[in-house]
Amino acid sequence: MSKVQLDKKIPDMEMHITGDKQVNLSDYLGKTLVIYFYPKASTPGCTQEGLDFREAITRFRRQSTVILGASRDGLKAQENFKAKQGFPFDLASDPDEILCKAFDVIKEKNMYGRKVLGIERSTFLIDKTGVLRQEWRKVKVKGHVEEVLEAVKALKK
């Protein structure tokens, strides 16, 4: 599987998303797509990021933009996270790291002095033709959703 590259069409991949649905990235053609990767469902930073996207969902929808969260959590954990937080968007379950590896978000991290592999919080903006237009890596949650929304608006101009 090739890795995504800025200003190139993203490879089509199948995903398992909440609602127990199998979808392909190509199913989102015709709409702008924001995929945000987070380390673990129901943890503080990941919850806040999801809540920030939830709060801004109407503004994203006005821009014909779909939000999709993704992590290595199993589908049940994703379903519970979505329901508990009332997220109005789907979450992708990627325990096999197919999506994570294509977007190159698995990085070595320090956890309590041990080196572990985990998701580096990252967001990707894909235009309606399936081309990756912008990426944010090592995301800090505070203010991030507003930055993504501004990039979506700039893409429409």
Q: Of 149, 138, 137, which Cα lies nearest the Cα of 34?
A: 149
**Residue 25 gets which letter from DSSP?**
G
pLDDT given at position 77 = 96
Give 157's pLDDT tier (boundaries 50, 70, 90): confident
Q: How do the domains of the chain map onto residue ranges?
A: 14-144
With a cut of 70, say whether residue 122 has pLDDT above it. Answer: yes
CB atoms within 10 A of CB 119: 22
**Pair 119, 105: CB distance under 8 Å:** yes
Does the predicted TM-score (pTM) go above 0.85?
yes
In the chain, % of residues over pLDDT 90: 86
Residues serving a catalytic function are: 46
The region that residue 10 occupies, defined by phi over 0 for left and psi between -120 and 50 for alpha, beta otherwise, is beta
Tell me the fold of 14-144: Glutaredoxin (3.40.30)
